[in-house]
């Protein structure tokens, strides 16, 4: 059945893919964004669709609309961007969650929070199941994001317990794909852009730290499945690709796949940079019948093809 759906942060990397998919499924989509890290360009191809609406708004301010579902994605996701104005990052996560939960409560909409594997911090349990409480430095440079997202999760479960708001929480692991901003600062986009330009690839630390990279289409599938899951399932649920790679392996893959002559240069590891990350996706398999389909090689190929069209 056709639904009216609000997507905050809809002009960002993930939000734009989500808006597109929801429209393709016949829904009406309202995309709300303050364009801090997102851009109109990401959704420009949707503007001709009469069922798509784009609104400039900051989620730290209240917003009123009648919808059936809310996907709350508004928040900078790259360490470079969320550390640029850490107070604003906390306000976006916390005040943004309060405003959107207040709206969901008032209009009785189902609401999904885009949480993150960062709630596990620099994890001491590997791979990370949802039951792990994490190992987060509350006063470090990543805390504005990690603790903001942890507080948002707490707000979500409490709006559910206290006010019976219909909530879903997804913990997203590192996701990459077309429409990442070329200056986004995250590792996949940085390495591809550097390789295509023939510049040195900037390796932070010795490159032995690991991440599990998930292609955007797999994430969007998991997110939509969670939103439409049975009423008494709220998560949090990990959505990520359990394939684990060191950052050095990633750099070598990108150099090889782009045929670049770039070299790797080593720079200091940023504070509190997690040493390992890999999702335990048992819960997603059981509850959502979901697992990722796109292997890193295939996803990187599609992402490199995208960047070839925009990197000059």
Q: Which residues bind ligand NAD (CB under 6 A)?
A: 8-9, 11-15, 33-38, 58-60, 73-77, 92, 96, 114, 116, 172, 174-175
Distance of alpha carbon 179 from alpha carbon 241, whole angstroms: 19
SS (H, E, C) 40-58: HHHHHHHCCCCCEEEEECC
Active site residue 82: no
For ligand NAD, the closer CB: 57 or 253: 57
| Catalytic pick among 82, 120, 145, 159 | 145
Q: How far is the CB of 266 from ligand UDP (least distance, A)?
A: 9
| Distant-in-sequence, close-in-space partners of 107: CB < 8 Å, separation ≥ 6 | 65, 66, 67
Q: How far is the CB of 53 from ligand UDP (least distance, A)?
A: 31
258 makes contact, choosing from ligand NAD, ligand UDP, none, with CB < 5 to 8 Å by partner type, with: none
Residue 189 near residue 300 (C-beta atoms within 8 A): no
Q: How far is the CB of 78 from ligand UDP (least distance, A)?
A: 6
Q: How far is the CB of 96 from ligand NAD (least distance, A)?
A: 6
Q: Residues interacting with ligand UDP, by CB under 6 A?
A: 78-79, 174, 186-187, 190, 202-204, 209, 211, 247, 270, 273
Nearest to 293 by CA among 277, 281, 283, 305: 281
69 makes contact, choosing from ligand UDP, ligand NAD, none, with CB < 5 to 8 Å by partner type, with: none
92 makes contact, choosing from ligand NAD, ligand UDP, none, with CB < 5 to 8 Å by partner type, with: ligand NAD
What is the DSSP pairing of strand 69-72 with strand 52-56? unpaired
Preceding omega of 236 cis (within 30 degrees of 0): yes
**Angstrom distances, CA of residue 32 to CA of 131, 156, 250:** 32, 20, 33
Active-site annotation, residues? 145
């Amino acid at each position: 059945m056709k639904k009216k759906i609000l997507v905050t942060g809809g002009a960002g990397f993930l939000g734009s893919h989500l808006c597109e998919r929801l429209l393709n499924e016949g829904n009406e989509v309202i995309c709300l964004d303050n364009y801090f890290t997102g851009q109109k360009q990401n959704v420009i191809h949707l503007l001709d669709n009469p069922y798509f609406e784009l609104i400039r708004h900051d989620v730290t301010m209240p917003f009123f609309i009648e919808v059936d579902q809310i996907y709350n994605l508004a928040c900078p996701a790259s360490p470079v961007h969320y550390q640029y104005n850490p107070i604003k990052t906390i306000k976006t996560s916390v005040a943004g969650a309060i405003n959107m939960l207040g709206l969901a409560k008032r209009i009785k909409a189902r609401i999904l929070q885009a949480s993150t594997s960062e709630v596990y911090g620099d994890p001491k349990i590997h791979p990370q199941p949802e039951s792990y409480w994490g190992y987060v430095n509350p006063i470090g440079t990543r805390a504005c994001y990690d603790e903001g997202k942890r507080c948002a999760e707490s707000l979500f479960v409490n709006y559910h317990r206290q006010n019976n708001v219909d909530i879903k929480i997804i913990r997203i692991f590192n996701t990459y794909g077309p429409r990442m901003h070329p200056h986004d600062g995250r590792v996949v986009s940085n390495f591809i852009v550097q390789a295509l330009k023939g510049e040195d690839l900037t390796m932070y630390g010795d490159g032995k730290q690991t991440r599990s990279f998930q292609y955007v289409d797999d994430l969007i599938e998991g997110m939509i499945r969670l939103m439409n899951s049975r009423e008494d399932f709220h998560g949090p649920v990990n959505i990520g690709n359990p394939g684990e790679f060191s950052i050095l392996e990633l750099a070598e893959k990108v150099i090889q796949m782009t045929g670049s002559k770039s070299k790797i240069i080593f720079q200091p590891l940023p504070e509190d940079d997690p040493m390992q990350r890999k999702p335990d996706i048992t819960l997603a398999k059981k509850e959502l019948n979901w697992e990722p389909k796109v292997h890193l090689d295939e996803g990187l190929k599609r992402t490199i093809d995208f960047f070839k069209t925009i990197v000059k």
